Amino acid sequence: MVDNSSGYSFQQQTVWVTGAARGIGRVVADRFVHLGARVLGLDCRFEDRGYAFTTRHLDVSDPEQVRVLVEEMLHEGMGPRVLVNAAGVLRLGDIDKTSRNAMSLKDWEKCMDVNVSGVFYLLRELSHHFKTQRQGAIVNIASNASRVPRMCMGGYCASKAALQSLSHCAALELAEFGVRCNLVSPGSTDTEMLQSMLMDKRGNVEDGYQRTIAGIPEQYKLGIPLKKIARPEEIANTVIFLASDQASHITMQNIVVDGGATLSA
């Protein structure tokens, strides 16, 4: 059943969502389905068949896989009206290679390959499509970590900052064709990614969540003024808005959804 109570409608629109197997990406994809869209979910590791949308395997960090999939989908008439780049990875580690917690070169490259290059490969293959149809919206999922430094997160922060700049450049190139390109930058959100960071040896995340909400001074990390961890649905709400006609004059923007954690820095 299509949900029209929100005032949004994506009837007859094709929406692509990367990172759709879990977390924010899956919630975003499900929301578009409920709003009437024909959704193509893309991910490199779908784990079950319980998805409400069409799924296709895609490693966004592989430019040849991206090229082949885009060509196939365009040939099948499945070109996107909306593209949401939600695929992302987090790798932790110090920049100093002599540290016991040093980030490996492999982890650095993984952050860049997925978080930045994957988006570039899709934009590279789809920009002509968007220009030709002279309409559409692109929403890239960055992070509030693109705006402030974080301990042990040099690779992740750098990749999300690069994504922000790439997104703005794409927005500028596409603007005259009526295509909008924006970012959503979540803060701490209740996903597997955050849980993997904060889980203790007993498999408990609540203590880590409470520390995150309160702030971690030894890591120079502020707390969350709204006193809660975000739900993926709260991030999806912002994505839906930016993709909708209600945001028809918004482009080249970055909406931070972090409960005030970065104090708008």
What's the mean pLDDT when you consider all of the chain? 94
127 pLDDT tier (thresholds 50, 70, 90): very high
Helix (H, G, I), strand (E, B) or coil at 255: strand
Please check whether residue 184 is in contact with residue 233, taking contact to mean a CB–CB distance below 8 angstroms: no
**What residues contact residue 160 under an 8 Å CB cut-off, 6+ apart?**
115, 142, 143, 145, 146, 185
Give the residue extent of every domain in the chain: 14-187+231-257, 190-229
Model-level pTM?
A: 0.94
Is residue 209 flagged as an active site residue? no
- For 218-239, what is each residue's pLDDT tens digit? 999 999 999 999 999 999 999 9
Taking CA atoms, 60 is separated from 45, 68, 110, 204, in Å, by: 12, 11, 11, 32
pLDDT at 4: 58
pLDDT at 86: 98
pLDDT at 44: 95
CA–CA separation, 114 and 159 (whole Å): 9
Residue from 8, 51, 121, 156 carrying the catalytic annotation: 156
Burial of 99 (0-12, 13-18, 19+ CB in 10 A): exposed
Q: Does residue 194 surpass a pLDDT of 90?
A: no
| φ and ψ at residue 238, rounded to 5 degrees | -70, -40
Q: What is the mean pLDDT of residues 143-169?
A: 97
264 pLDDT tier (thresholds 50, 70, 90): confident
The CATH number for 14-187+231-257, chosen from 1.10.357.10, 3.40.50.720, 3.30.365.10, 3.30.750.24, is 3.40.50.720
Burial of 56 (0-12, 13-18, 19+ CB in 10 A): middle
